[in-house]
A and B are shown apart, each in its own frame.
Chain A
């Protein structure tokens, strides 16, 4: 099924297409949400929200970008909003002075060595401390292997802005990684 047909079925509200779209995009959405949120539980909630938004607002999709770009954009926005909400809840629950608790990265393969898990945890913790936009740009570039042009489309920003975001993200990350490792 090509993209035009998928969009047409989605717009018609044909229910069989939901499962099709879900199967096609669930891995990338879940992985982006997982990297952005840092835990499987939050990634699950965020992924559900993304699909609901995709299915419910397909009428607003103007086909000026690829469907996958539009879905990525929704995922990024949902994850940033989740993070914002989390910060507000944390602030309101008077936990704001506490050191940020980092969700440990779950072991994805049973054979993964402890050392690798520790590395993964450290990098994820450093990523969690980056500003939302820098984190998004870096995740899309490093883990989703998107080009800067695609990232600009997904984030609704310019190419130089993406370059600058990734540059600053890498600078910040190096700083945070050294700090975490020293601690």
Chain B
């Protein structure tokens, strides 16, 4: 066995978890390899020397826990705790749906050439893209800030005419 392989088995060897054959191989190797003997000494020192101590929980732990339990109890009484997650999930889903519908309808309207209603300020004022030499005539979503800017610009153009 190589040194690395041998050293990996040291804790198992110390704890007596290895079968006799493997234990024999390790002992055989240790009898001829000083570096592995030293490595085993170090591991033994660490593994056996480590005290299995018990840590005492701090006294404040119970009071902190009590506070958190009380918070949860109040939440439950108010019905918030049970519904908090559901409310958040539903609200998030609703926001996503609303944003998707609005964006979809605006994009749809803007890209649709037959979009002819009273909101279409460009058609109402008989403005064509040739008046501006630009291409955003078709794609500005109605009621958007971009449209407001465009209305301002178009009114100026109409006044000029």
Contacts and interface: CB of A to CB of B under 8 A. Distances in A.
Q: Would you call the interface of chain A mostly helix, strand, loop, or mixed? A: helix
A52 interface: yes
A173 B69 CA distance: 38
Interface residues of B, number: 32
B56 to A, nearest CB: 7
B69 A52 contact: yes
A143 B65 contact: no
Contact of A26 (B51, B53, B61): B61
A56 B72 contact: yes
Given A30-B61, A123-B50, 16 more contacts: A18-B69, A22-B65, A30-B56, A31-B54, A34-B55, A47-B65, A52-B69, A112-B51, A142-B52, A167-B17, A170-B11, A172-B8, A174-B9, A177-B47, A181-B42, A181-B46
Given A119-B45, A173-B11, A27 B54 contact: yes
A178 B7 contact: yes
A120 interface: yes
B148 interface: no
Nearest to A181: B42
Interface in A27-64: 27, 30-31, 34, 40, 43-44, 47-48, 51-52, 55-56
Interface string B30-47: 000000000100110111
Nearest to B49: A119
A-B CB proximity, top 9 nearest: A30-B57, A170-B11, A174-B11, A174-B10, A171-B8, A119-B49, A123-B50, A34-B55, A170-B12
B58 interface: yes
Contacts of B52: 142-143
B15 interface: yes
Nearest to A52: B68
A142 B55 CA distance: 15
Contact of A178 (B15, B43, B62): B43
A122 interface: yes
